[in-house]
Amino acid sequence: MKKLLTIILIGTLSMLFAEVFSGASQAWFFNAWSLIATFPLYLFHLLFLLWIALNSKKISISQLYLFGIIFALYESWITKVLWTGYIVNATKPALGTILGLGISEFPILVFFFHPIMSFIVPILVFEILNKQAVSDHAKLLEKNRKKSKLILLFLASIGTFIANGNQFNLLSANISLIGTIIIILILLYFTQKTNLEFFKFKKNKFILISAYLLLLYVLMFFYLLPEKIPTTAVSYLSIIIFYIFPISLLINSKKENIEYTNLTDKHYTAKDLGFFSIFVVLTTNIFCLIPNVAASLLFISYYIIWLLGITIFGLITYKALKKQ
């Protein structure tokens, strides 16, 4: 049972940072669709890609980022967001498209939110909670004042996303955010203390995860918003290129022996995570009370993160190509 709850824990972390923090899901744990579709989507993507990373010995932050890009591309085949935008009845993205891909949606989702919030951050937080991290990750998790200020600034901007996603409703926002945090605390109490090696499943389990994802992609492509399926070849070709690009960089990247480090007080701890959680709850509540200000800050935050995603993608690509 502890093993199952440990798996659910990392999936819940992914839901918190990807869906709740972005405002995309409200009280997802009370929603049937979220429980049978959205939660498994995040969990199985994370397990699938983390298994490959661990078994290929390509687990550095830069390599995880490239795996995260592959994660993000589900937003084409399943939700069609990268092709037609966020709004269900929209026929094209907010700022139009380039080569069939949304100008505003693609960079923020593929270069930032999914690689970092759906994939990397849940893994790092899992390591903090278990006080063991891959040595490469431990360096990033070292605590300093400048890094903490940047985290708080980012969490303040996230408050605008959560408030907006919950239509500035205090009750909805608090249930969504605090409810998910409580679930994580409960799971943490009952889970097995371990490191990322726990997710190095046997091949038969990996095959089952792969089969589930394949079935999910096929069914969702044809049955979820079928009216949004692109009719131009360029839309598909652009997505395929963005699969080939990170995969080729990963194949040619260097393998490293995976060594684990015990985290100490010089690293971020569960206590720090508790402080950050309280901070994001407070900022979310403040922004729910000042919707006009929050909406303006959300617009600014969105495009800062959009630009940040492009920058991170450029830097990691340059670093990977330089090494090759």
pTM: 0.97
If you average pLDDT over every residue of the chain, what do you get?
95
Mean pLDDT for 40-58 is: 97
Q: How high is the pLDDT of residue 138?
A: 96
* Structural domain count of the chain: 1
Provide the phi-psi class of 25: left if phi over 0, else alpha when psi is between -120 and 50, else beta: beta
In whole angstroms, what is the distance from residue 312 CA to residue 243 CA?
A: 17
Give Cα 79 to chain centroid, integer Å: 15
Q: Is 102 helix (H, G, I), strand (E, B) or coil?
A: strand
pLDDT digits (tens, 9 = 90+) for 128-170: 999 999 999 999 999 999 999 999 999 999 999 999 999 999 9
In whole angstroms, what is the distance from residue 287 CA to residue 279 CA?
A: 12
Tally of CB atoms within 10 A around 247: 14
Q: Is the dihedral of CA 37, 40, 43, 47 positive or negative?
A: negative
- For residue 22, the enclosing domain spans 2-323
| Through-space distance between the first and last CA atoms of the chain, rounded to whole angstroms | 44
* 3, amino acid identity: K
Backbone angles phi, psi at 98, to 5 degrees: -125, 120
Q: What's the CA dihedral at 228, 86, 74, 248 to 10 degrees?
A: 110
- Per-residue CA distances from 25 to 115, 238, 262, 277 (Å): 18, 28, 34, 18
Q: How confident is the model at residue 92 (pLDDT cuts 50, 70, 90)?
A: confident
- Per-residue CA distances from 8 to 2, 5, 28, 214, 276 (Å): 10, 5, 14, 20, 22
Percent of the chain with pLDDT over 70: 99
With a cut of 80, say whether residue 91 has pLDDT above it. no
Nearest-10 crossing angle of helices 291-323, 61-72: 120
With a cut of 80, say whether residue 89 has pLDDT above it. no
In whole angstroms, what is the distance from residue 302 CA to residue 142 CA?
A: 27
Half-sphere exposure of 324 (CA within 13 A, CB side): 12
Residues for the chain: how many in total?
324
Q: Which burial class, exposed, middle or buried, applies to 149 when counting CB atoms under 10 A from its CB (0-12, 13-18, 19+)?
A: exposed
Q: How high is the pLDDT of residue 323?
A: 80
In whole angstroms, what is the distance from residue 223 CA to residue 216 CA?
A: 10
* 132, amino acid identity: Q
For residue 134, give the H/E element and its range.
Answer: strand 132-134
